[in-house]
Amino acid sequence: MAKCYASILETIGNTPVVRINRLAPPGVNLYVKIEAFDPLASVKDRLAIAVIEAGEKDGTLKPGQTVVEATSGNTGIGLAMVCAAKGYPLVLTMAEPFSVERRKLMRFLGAKVIVTPAAERAVGMVKKMEELAAKHGWFMTRQFENEANPDYHSRTTAREILEDFAGEPLDYWVTGYGTGGTLKGVARVLRKESPKTRIIVCEPTDAPLLGSKIEQPRKPDGTPAAPHPSFKPHPMQGWTPDFIPKLTGDAVDAQAMDRLLHVAGPDAIRCSKDLAAKEGIFVGITSGATFAGALKIAAEAHKGANILAMLPDTGERYLSTPLFADVPADMTEEELKISRSTPGGQLKA
């Protein structure tokens, strides 16, 4: 055996960079970093261990203290894994529209999930988290403001990318923003150590928060004071909440973005399906959205350009969403025809 791990937490990170072969336009080198290879299948596993271990280190998280966070799903699932491994009780607040399988996964991992009204969106679930923490003395991980989030990406994700492209120019790095942790943490390292890399940030066409140039109202602690006026519902769960997170705002203020792209929901869904059917890469709608942005860059990039897109999570988080709306559970007519081509194993009509 090459290596035995002391716990599941040691398997976070070191996710693979994979070349795109059938979907990439000719003349460019298009790669994806597949965060579904993290133990709970999303990039938020990195965030989860970062904020918990930071709280342990500075003493703000006490032994046995309940942890509370607001989540669209992936952060909650990552936190549920980390808290299960370390022995912390976990309570998560989650707005009603997010996929049911995410709630079930968090509960399966031992967390309590408090569902908040759909009309209150992400800001509402954050407010509920703050109420619960104040009432019960629980530890808030504060994923949207906690500097441990981007710091971990600077130490791990960014270093992995630089190592994977050692000796090769990385011309474009394409990402969404979500909490802003990946963007802020990786971008500042690329700016310093790979200054020729152009950083491309994507957001939904229906929720152009950064593109609007409208400032996000914030409380003194950086949390959102109100939803952003440019937000409209979109299918990319967790890719863009209904506010600009402080960490994302920090990255924008630091000029960590060379170009902003807008991606429509149908394009994100199509690209997720294409990655599965034509590359064998099973990822969610947010990954499809980032990949759609990368394809736009690839279409105009110079010959021989190296492009890397972040793929945040697995497709299994989206079984109850529009991504699988046209995937039948029963056999199709074509499948029935194949079945009937031989006499055995026939289902009763």
**Degrees (nearest 5) of the Cα angle 293, 296, 299?**
150
156-191 burial, b for 16+ CB within 10 Å, e for fewer? bbbbbbbeebeeeebbbbbbbbbbbbbbbbbbbbbe
Using CA atoms, how far apart are residues 192 and 164, in angstroms rounded to an integer? 17
Mapping DSSP to helix (H, G, I), strand (E, B) and coil, where does residue 38 land?
A: coil
> Please, are residues 244 and 216 in contact by the beta-carbon 8 Å criterion?
yes
Pairing of strands 112-116, 198-204: unpaired
Using CA atoms, how far apart are residues 126 and 70, in angstroms rounded to an integer? 5
Determine the number of helices (DSSP H) and then strands (DSSP E) in the chain.
11, 10
**3 state SS for 227-240:** CCCCCCCCCCCCCC
- Catalytic, out of 44, 184, 246, 296: 44
Which token pair is 43?
């990039």
Give the containing element (helix H, strand E) for 85.
Answer: helix 74-86
Tokens 């400032």 -> residue: 215
Tokens 């298009």 -> residue: 30
> Please, are residues 82 and 48 in contact by the beta-carbon 8 Å criterion?
yes
Using CA atoms, how far apart are residues 233 and 50, in angstroms rounded to an integer? 29
Is 296 designated active site? no
Which token pair is 86?
């370390």
Mapping DSSP to helix (H, G, I), strand (E, B) and coil, where does residue 42 land?
A: strand
Give the containing element (helix H, strand E) for 259.
Answer: strand 259-263
**Catalytic center residues:** 44
